[in-house]
Structure 1
C-alpha cells in the first residue's frame, strides 16, 4: 500500500493522554524491535479476549468500555495499540498491524502463560483483518468479528470480486479458517436453546 493510502486507512488518533489512565502498560516487542503498548485486564478467568481495535481507536478511548465488558462477560481482556497508534512505536500500515498482532498473541501464550485454546480474538472494523490473520496462523478458541471488512477494494468500490493487488483481504483469508462458527440469533427465552 502506498503512503497516502496508509495515512487514510491507518488514521491513528492523536487524542488521549495516557498518563490520565491509572493503568499499567505492558510494552511488547515486535520482530522489528518496535514497542507495542498493551494493557491486560486480568479478572483471573478462564477465557481471555484479545481485542484488535478499529481504525481511529486506541487504548485510551477503549479502556473504560472494555473494563466494564470484562466484568459483564466475566473474561480477561488484552487491549493493544498498533504501531503508530497511542504509545506504540513504529509506522501504521497493514504489515505492521499483523506483526504487532502476532507479537501480542505470542506474549500472551509465552509470557502470560495463557493457553491458546482459551483465547478469543475480537476484531472490530480494520481490526477484523488483524483478528482473521492471527486466527489462520495461530491456535485460538474462537473469533468475534464486528463490522468486519471484506477487503480494501470492496470498501472503495463495493465489489465482491477479489483482485490480485487488493489488501486487507479478509474475504480470501476467512475461507481457510474452518474451526468455529458462531451464530447469534434472537430467541424469546433461554428454554429455546
Structure 2
C-alpha cells in the first residue's frame, strides 16, 4: 500500500523537463566535468556527480564566491533542471555574496533514478554532505533555500540540523495534497508535510510568496510563516505569481537584507538546551567566585597608601590600554579601507548584472508545480 501511495504521489508531484536541458561531459584540457548546452560557462563553477544513499547518482553545481562567509543550498522547483538554473544560480551567488550549491533531484536533468519524495530527501542529504566534506562548509554557516516543491526536501533536512544558520522558503507548499485540495488535516498518504515540520525548525526562517500565486495559493506561505518558531520579516510580493518573483526588485533586496542579518548572528556551537544548561552552570560558578572574592576582600582591606598606589597603577594601565585601542582602531581602519577597495569591483559587478537575473528568469519561463491541479482533476 505504501509503495502504491508513493507512486500516486509521484505522478502528482514531479515533472522533470523532458528532454533534459543539458548533458554532462569531461573537458579533456582541464579534466573538469562540464555541462553542455550552457552558454558562457564559468571557471568558478564546479559540476559534480554525487551518490545518494538510495543508490542514485545526482548532478550538482557549486558556485564559489571569494568574499562569502555563508553557503546557500538551493532546492529548485518542479519543471526545472540545472541547465536552466545555471546562470540564475551564478547571478544569485554574486548578488547575495554567498557560495551556492544547486542540485538536480533523482530523475531530473542527468541525475539517475526516478523522482519520489524519499529520493529527494536522499538527494538533498547528498548535496549537504558534499558541502561539508568537499568544501568544508559548517552546519552553522549554511542556509537552506527551498523553492516550491523544493520546500519539501529543504524542511525535511532543516529539522535534522540543530545548528543550521537559516532557511528561505520561496513559494512554499503546506503539503502536496493541500496544493490540490483545501484539506484541514494531514493524511498519512500526503507528501511533503511541511505544515507539520515547520514548527520544529529552530533557526530564522524567511518566507517569500506572491499574493496572486495561481499554482500554490498565497495562504500556504502565510500559514507556514505563522507557524515558524523564529520568524523573520516575510516578503509578500503584491501581484506576484508562482513563476515571476525574481523579477521584482524587492526580491533581491530583501534576500540580501536577510542574509546580512543572519551573518551577524553568533555561530551556534551547541543545541539550545545545552547552551542554557552551560549558561546556568557558568552563572553558578561566577556567583561562587564572587562570594569567595568578597569574603577575601572583607578579610584583607588594603591600607590607604596601598589603595592610592593601586589607583595610580590602574591609571597607568588605563592610559596604556587607551593607547593600544587607538593603534588597534587605526589598524582596523586601514584593513577596512583595503577590504573596501577589494570589494568595489565585486559590488560593481553585482550592480551591472542586476538586470541579467530578470532576463534569465524571463527566458527560462520557470513554473514549478504547474500541472498539479489539472492532474488531480483528471485523476
Compute the TM-score of the two structures, normalised by the length of structure 1.
0.90
- In the other structure, the counterpart of 1:70 is 93
Q: How do 1:145-160 and structure 2 match up within 5 A?
A: 145-160=169-184
Q: 1:110 Cα shift?
A: 1.8
1:141 aligns with one of 165, 180, 187: 165
In the alignment, structure 1 residue 28 sits paired with structure 2 residue 32: no
Number of corresponding residues: 189
The structure carrying a bigger helix percent of its residues is 2
Task: Give CA deviations for 1:69-128 in whole Å, capped at 9, x if unaligned.
Answer: 111111111010000000111110100000111111011112211111111000000000
Match of 2:120 among 97, 112, 124: 97
Q: Does 1:85 align with 2:108?
A: yes
- Equivalent positions of 1:165-184 (< 5 A) are 165-180=189-204, 181-184=231-234
Question: 3-state SS of the aligned residue for 2:159?
Answer: helix
Matched, 1:162 2:186: yes
* Unaligned residue ranges in structure 1 (runs of 5+): none
1:30-69 aligned within 5 A = 30-44=52-66, 45-69=68-92
Higher relative contact order (CA 8 A, sep 6+): 1
**Whole-Å separation in 2 of the counterparts to 1:81 and 1:164:** 27
Secondary structure of 1:60's counterpart equals helix
User: How far apart are residue 179 of structure 1 and its match?
Assistant: 2.5
Q: CA deviation at 1:160?
A: 3.1
Structure of greater Rg: 2
Is 2:93–2:99's contact at 8 Å kept on the other side of the alignment?
Answer: yes
**CA–CA separation in structure 2 for the residues paired with 1:48 and 1:70:** 9
CA drift at 1:4:
4.3
Are positions 1:3 and 2:7 aligned together?
Answer: yes
